Amino acid sequence: MYRVLFCLFILSISSIKAENSNCRPDSIPKKCSPEPVPCCRIPAEPTAAAYNAPARIDVCGSKDAYLTLSFIYWKLEENIFVAQFQADGTTVNNDRTALTTMDYDYKPGFKIGGGYNFQYDDWNAYIEYTRYHATNSVSRTKPSWAQSMQPIYNRLTNTSGDEIDLKLKLEYDFIDLDLSRWQYAGQKILIKPFMGMHGGWLDQRIISDFKINSLSATNNSIYTLKQWMIGPRIGFFYKWKLLDYLSITGKGSTALLYQKFTKIFLRQTDQDLATAAPATLTTTESKRSSVNRLFELMLGFEYDKYFYQNRYHFNCLAGYDLHGLVSPILPPGWLALHGLTLSAQLDF
C-alpha cells in the first residue's frame, strides 16, 4: 500500500515539472506600462448634490401657465423747474435768487402679464405690459421779496410776470419679455435669474402759462417730447421664506436701451411789450437718438398657497417699486417712478 502511494507521489511531482518545462516565456502576460498623466483633467459631470434644484410652482394636471395682474400707485419724480425769482440786487436783498420746481402726486396705473413653464430644465417665459399715465399741475406766484419772475419753458420776457401755471402730462407704456428659472440657494432662499428685452414708449407734454398782470396778457408755451426705446435686460428675483406661505421678496434689474426721439417740439407765444404784437416761435426736431440705462428695484412681502387638491396655486405680493430711466433729452437728465405695487398671480 505504501509503495503504491509513494509511486503516485513521484508521478505527480514529475508531471508538474514537465508542465513547467513546457511553459514558454512568451506565454506569460506582460504588464502594460502606465499611461502618462494628463496635464489637465476633464471636469466631471455635476452630481445631484451640485444641481440647483428647481423651485418653480408645479400644480397637478396643469397647463403650465400663469396670469398676473398688478395695481400700481406710483409717483413721478422729475426735477422740472417752473420759474426763477430774482431780487432787485440791493444790499438788503443780497442779490437773492431762487428756483421753484414742479409738485408731483401719486397716480394709479396697472400691469398685466402671462407666463409659461417649459419642461426643459424648468425654465419659464414671461411677458408683461405696464401702463402709467399721469398729469401733474402746479401754480406759482411771485413772492414779495422778488422784483422779477422769469419762466423756464417760455422765452425770457422783458416784462416781469406775476403768476405761472405749469402742467406736465406723461404717458409711459412699456413691455418686458423675460426668460428665467426659479431655483433653491439653500433651504429657505429662492433665486430667479432672468434675461430678456425691454421696450417702451414715452410721451411728455409741458404746458406753461405765464401771466403778466400789468399787460393783461399771458405768454404760452407747449413743450412736447416723444420717444421709443428697446434693449437687453438682465436681473434677478429672490425670496426668503419666513413661513410656509409667507416670504420676503425683491427684484433688481438693469437694461441698456437704444432711445429714438421721434418728436421734440417747442412752441411759444410771447408778448413782451404792451405796444408789440405777440410773437410766436416754433422749434421742431425729429432726428435724435442715444443709448442710455434703465434700472429697477423692488422690495416687499409675498403670500402663496396651493389649493383645490394642488390643482391651482395663488400668490399675492405687496411691494415698493423704483423705476429709473436715464436720458440726456429729458429736462433733468433722468426720470424716476416709485410707489406701491400690489400683484396677484394664478397658476393653472
DSSP 56-108: ----TT--SEEEEEEEEEEEEE---EEEEEE----TTTTT-EEEEE----EEE
Q: Write down the pLDDT at residue 25.
A: 45
The pTM is what? 0.80
On the question of pLDDT at 16 being above 50, the answer is no
Mean pLDDT of 199-207: 93
Dump strand ranges (E) for the chain. 65-77, 81-86, 97-101, 106-117, 124-141, 148-151, 163-180, 183-184, 189-212, 217-241, 246-270, 279-285, 288-307, 312-326, 334-347
On the question of pLDDT at 17 being above 60, the answer is no
All cell numbers assigned to 299: 422690495
Mean pLDDT of 279-304: 88
Pick 71-347's CATH classification: 3.10.350, 1.10.3470, 2.40.128, 2.30.29: 2.40.128
Model pLDDT for residues 65-79, shown as the tens digit of each residue = 999 999 999 999 887
Q: Are 129 and 67 in contact (CB under 8 A)?
A: no
On the question of pLDDT at 235 being above 60, the answer is yes
On the question of pLDDT at 101 being above 60, the answer is yes
Instruction: Give the contacts of 339 (CB within 8 A, at least 6 positions apart).
Output: 72, 73, 74, 75, 106, 320, 321
All cell numbers assigned to 273: 411789450
Instruction: Give the contacts of 193 (CB within 8 A, at least 6 positions apart).
Output: 180, 181, 234, 235, 236
Q: Which residue has the cell 409717483?
A: 75
Q: Are 311 and 320 in contact (CB under 8 A)?
A: no
Give residue limits of the domains in the chain: 71-347
Q: Which stretch, 145-149, 165-169, 218-222, has highest mean pLDDT?
A: 165-169
Is 212 in a helix, a strand, or coil?
strand
147 falls in which pLDDT band (50, 70, 90)? confident
